[in-house]
Amino acid sequence: MKSRRLLLALAVSASLIALSACKKEPAGTGTATPEPPKGETADEFIVRVNDELRAMYPELTSAQWLSNTYINDDSQLLASKANERYLSQLNDWIEQARKFEGQPMSQETARAIHLLKLMTAMPAPKDPAKLSELAQIATRMEGMYGAGSYCTGEGDGKHCRDIGQLSEVLAKSRDYDKQLDAWRGWHTISVPMRADYTRFVELVNEGAKDLGYADAGEMWRSGYDMSPAEIAAETDRLWGQVKPLYEQLHCYTRNKLVAQYGARGQVEGGLLPAHLMGNLWQQDWGNLWDILEPFKNAGSLDITGALEKQYQQNYSRELAKAGPGPTTDAIFQAERAAQLDTAKQMTERAQDFYTSLDMPKLPGSYWNKTQFIKPLDRDVVCHASAWDMNMAGDVRTKMCIKPNEEEFTTIYHELGHVYYYLAYNKLPPLFQGGAHDGFHEAIGDTIVLAMTPEYLKSVGLIDGQEQSQQALINAQMRMALAKVSFLPFGLMIDRWRWGVFDGSIKPADYNKAWWELKAKYQGVAPASPRGEEFFDPGAKYHVPGNTPYTRYFLSHVLQFQFYKSLCDASGYKGPLYDCTFYGNKAAGQKFWAMLEKGGSQPWQATLKEMTGSEQMDASAVLEYFSPLQQWLKEQNEGQTCGWQEPDSAEATAK
């Protein structure tokens, strides 16, 4: 959730504020003055709001943390009440700010008032009953997602699988039917969300209108220091830059899927079957490495293998502690201890990259309070998030870490949010956010781009690499499966929500419109019809979690711009894709200087300081992937690439 401000902190939930990344917002605690002091100036008003916000923040984040890491009726009630107080407080502040319209004030104060209005991604109606209803729906939807599980069988034969177990089937099984069952299974969890989501849309739209926006989507698009229409056009422009690269990757992948699965490797029209992409949402194809690896034995990039080995070593050590002939219980304890150790070691490895840039170590409280692995005794929201609990150093991440490459890079992503928090915590609360929300999402990913084979080797995760064209293409493919496959997904989620909020997508067409957009942008389709008896958008965390998604699309462009600048700052001269700035203090200083600015100025100024340009631009993406794009073109030569969008939802299923 982040959007810009402060509140950022939190992670996830639904609702709140605008914060950054995966966070949440503060809840009002009723500490704010109901009536503003007489004679208060605009500048004084903002000082007061900042103070009140800082004071109420920890109570909100605590309630949200509990409801995310201990899902039950009680924690949900408290989180929902905390949200309710916060949203109502926010409405009060915004109301109070109106009287300063047209009055003299510092530039800083004007920006702070602008940010105040955009503080939440969940604008609430003024009517207290509706506000309370909204807070409850938001908490309930997120809880449903977190507790989601797919059960088969009955009685003693009943077997339930959570998101981690179902994701693992998609990642590892190559059995078409098992994958289909896992994919469909996860999509049962969102069916009961449809009514809640429909009502949620009505309520946030009412809240957005109260604030002067046409609808909640327009409000989301107002957080980019340009008009809502301009940022929408920007996303089209950026997508146009990278679309040809995506189409080449799509074409290559389809051929490989057909080679693996025969005719069932594609859906009519040349679309990719949703359940075969190694990921529940087809947003990251990295798990298809066994099918898509360009050259076998040309530079092993088996990071998952190395992490699994690390786990095994931890496990053997723990088991040895139990002595010979361990009991079932001792074996189980050894497994848990090894999982936790491995997760912490992975996090230490990520921290090491940041400290190598001269950034500080994470505070001791981070290590004590973070959720590293999935607890056994309760439901939790496993979707990864980064939290700023109090704007004063109590930072945490919440994940259910498993020893694999995807989770490993997600840790680097989350620490990017955490280091942003730590860097801008000294700013007034209203400026504690990303330059825009895409900046927040891009910090950790910029580091991920610098995880070159050379870096991975230097930290012992892979063996020595040969320098060959084949090894280069393998390395590029590995990165493309994470980054290029994501681009159209990053765009389509909010194309859907913008349409839902502005009414051009009606509740009766929620699923149909979803799959039309999936087909249009990603070129993927379900293996069989997905009618309105389903609510497939709800099976993606950010929909029930109400986290805007355009940020991730923008991040996937910006992170290449940041990476290029930091490579330049480090004095690197070679081809972009080979650069790592691991250990480079000059790059670290430049990065930190950007983080410290938070949301205190328009993002264009921050981008200019970092890259020399005021524009988001995908040319660094294309520069980075140019060897792969050339290679893909050769592979696809003579093929008919692209796909046909089905005319209707029914057609998708044929």
Nearer to ligand X8Z, 314 or 522 (CB): 522
Beta bridge partners of 161: 150
Q: How far is the CB of 21 from ligand X8Z (least distance, A)?
A: 4
- Range list of H helices, 70-193: 73-97, 107-117, 128-146, 163-172, 176-186
Does residue 542 carry a catalytic annotation?
A: yes
Binder of residue 419, out of Zn ion, ligand X8Z, none (CB less than 5 to 8 A by kind): none
Q: Which residue has the tokens 């070691």?
A: 345
Q: Do you know the residue count of the chain?
A: 654
Rounded least distance, CB 1 to ligand X8Z, Å: 8
Least Cβ distance, residue 413 to ligand X8Z (angstroms): 6
Q: Which is nearer to ligand X8Z, 315 or 366 (CB)?
A: 366
**Helix, strand, coil distribution of the chain in percent, nearest 5:** 60, 5, 35
**Residue 111 or 497 having the CB closest to ligand X8Z:** 497
Active site residue 609: no
Beta carbon of residue 416, minimum distance to Zn ion (angstroms, whole number): 7
Q: Which of 250, 275, 440, 542 is catalytic?
A: 542
CB of 552 to ligand X8Z, least distance (A): 4
Catalytic annotation, pick one of 552, 577, 582, 624: 552
In angstroms, what is the minimal distance from the CB of 208 to Zn ion?
24
Active site residue 441: yes
Which of ligand X8Z, Zn ion, none does 385 bind, CB closer than 5 to 8 A by kind?
A: ligand X8Z
Q: 223, 94, 289: which is closest to 551 by C-alpha?
A: 223
Torsion of CA 174, 178, 642, 244, to 10 degrees: -60
| Nearest distance from C-beta of residue 463 to Zn ion, angstroms | 31
Tell me the DSSP string of 567-598.
HHHTT--S-GGG---TT-HHHHHHHHHHHHHT
Output 267 or 491, the one with its CB closest to Zn ion: 491
132 binds, among Zn ion, ligand X8Z, none (CB under 5 to 8 A by kind): none
Q: Which does 552 bind (CB under 5 to 8 A by kind): ligand X8Z, Zn ion, none?
A: ligand X8Z
C-alpha to C-alpha distance for 182 and 10, rounded to whole angstroms: 30
To the nearest whole angstrom, how small is the minimum distance from the Cβ of residue 417 to Zn ion?
Answer: 6
Residue type, 513: A
Under DSSP, the state recorded for 435 is S
* Residue whose CB is nearest to ligand X8Z in the complex, by number: 22
Of 396 and 413, nearer to ligand X8Z (C-beta) is: 413
* Annotation says 417 is catalytic: yes
Footprint of ligand X8Z on this chain (CB under 6 A)? Answer: 21-22, 283, 384-385, 410, 413, 552
**Of 82, 135, 138, 384, which is the active-site residue?**
384
Nearer residue to ligand X8Z within complex by CB, 22 or 610? 22
| Residue 40 is among the residues annotated as catalytic for this protein | no
Query: Please, which residue, 89 or 167, has the CB nearer to ligand X8Z?
Result: 167
Residue showing tokens 């999935």: 374
In the residue annotation, 407 being an active-site residue is answered as no
- 162 makes contact, choosing from ligand X8Z, Zn ion, none, with CB < 5 to 8 Å by partner type, with none
CB-based contact 544:538 (threshold 8 Å):
yes
Amino acid in position 312: Q
Closest to ligand X8Z by CB, 13 vs 136, is 13
Shortest distance (Å) from residue 283 CB to ligand X8Z: 6
Could you tell which of Zn ion, ligand X8Z, none binds residue 410, using a CB distance below 5 to 8 A set by kind?
ligand X8Z
User: Distances in Å between the alpha carbon of 541 and those of 163, 215, 441?
Assistant: 11, 22, 16
The tokens describing 492, both together, are: 């389509």
Q: Which tokens sit at 344?
A: 């912490």
Residue at 45: amino acid letter:
F
Please report, as ranges, the residues that interact with Zn ion according to CB under 5 A.
Answer: 21-22, 441
The alpha-carbon radius of gyration of the chain (Å, integer) is: 24
Question: Among residues 52, 318, 414, 516, which one is catalytic?
Answer: 414
Pairing assessment for the beta strands 2-3 and 19-20 based on DSSP bridges: antiparallel
**How many CB atoms sit inside 10 A of residue 526's CB?**
24
Active-site residue flag, 159 = no
Rounded Cα gap, residues 614 and 561, in angstroms: 11
- Which residue lies nearer to Zn ion by CB, 8 or 343? 8
- Cα dihedral: 359, 364, 366, 370 (round 10): 140
275 classed as catalytic: no
Half-sphere exposure of 514 (CA within 13 A, CB side): 20
Closest CA relative to residue 23, chosen from 56, 1, 53: 1
Dihedral, CA of residue 385, residue 388, residue 393 and residue 395, to nearest 10: -20
CA nearest to 163, candidates 4, 382, 369: 382
In Å, how far are 83, 84, 129, 202 from 132, measured between CA atoms? Answer: 9, 6, 5, 14
| Helix 73-97 with 42-69: angle, nearest 10 deg | 170
Q: Considering 441, 519, 521, 525, which one is annotated as catalytic?
A: 441
What are the residue numbers of the active site?
383-384, 413-414, 417, 441, 542, 552
